[in-house]
Structure 1
Amino acid sequence: METQDLEKLVTRKMPYGKYEGRLIADLPGPYLNWFAREGFPNGEIGRLLALMHEIDHNGLSGLLEPLRGR
């Protein structure tokens, strides 16, 4: 994990797919689970999706709240 990755989760939008334009931090759990089963994309977007999946899966989404709206 890079130091800025948590902040990126609340500022970066999904660039494609069913939830295109939605913040990565706001993607639904089942969508993140699908990526976990099928494979995360390469590059930064894949790394961020994998991180968000871990946060969501472990019930830690509240950790991102202080970073929203910075």
Structure 2
Amino acid sequence: MAVGLAIEVSQLLMYVVVNNARLTDTTDRLVNTLGGYLGCVVLYRADRIADLADPRTTPVRDPAPLSPPPA
């Protein structure tokens, strides 16, 4: 979030100093924040799916006994 803010501030300063065509807008900031949040959610869920698919991290249940226990 801080990186996006730094980019927007640098664009604003470049517009003021150099008068370039890059403008900063509150919509940019909102969409960048939303995109970062959605990216984190997707990454978190993909990591969870990968953990579930990995046999080393899947809990192993005790196999059923082959013969009945001794009486």
Question: Per the shorter chain, which TM-score range?
Answer: under 0.3
Larger Rg computed on CA atoms: 2
Bigger relative contact order (CA 8 A; separation at least 6): 1
TM-score, scaled relative to structure 2 = 0.26
Higher helix share: 2
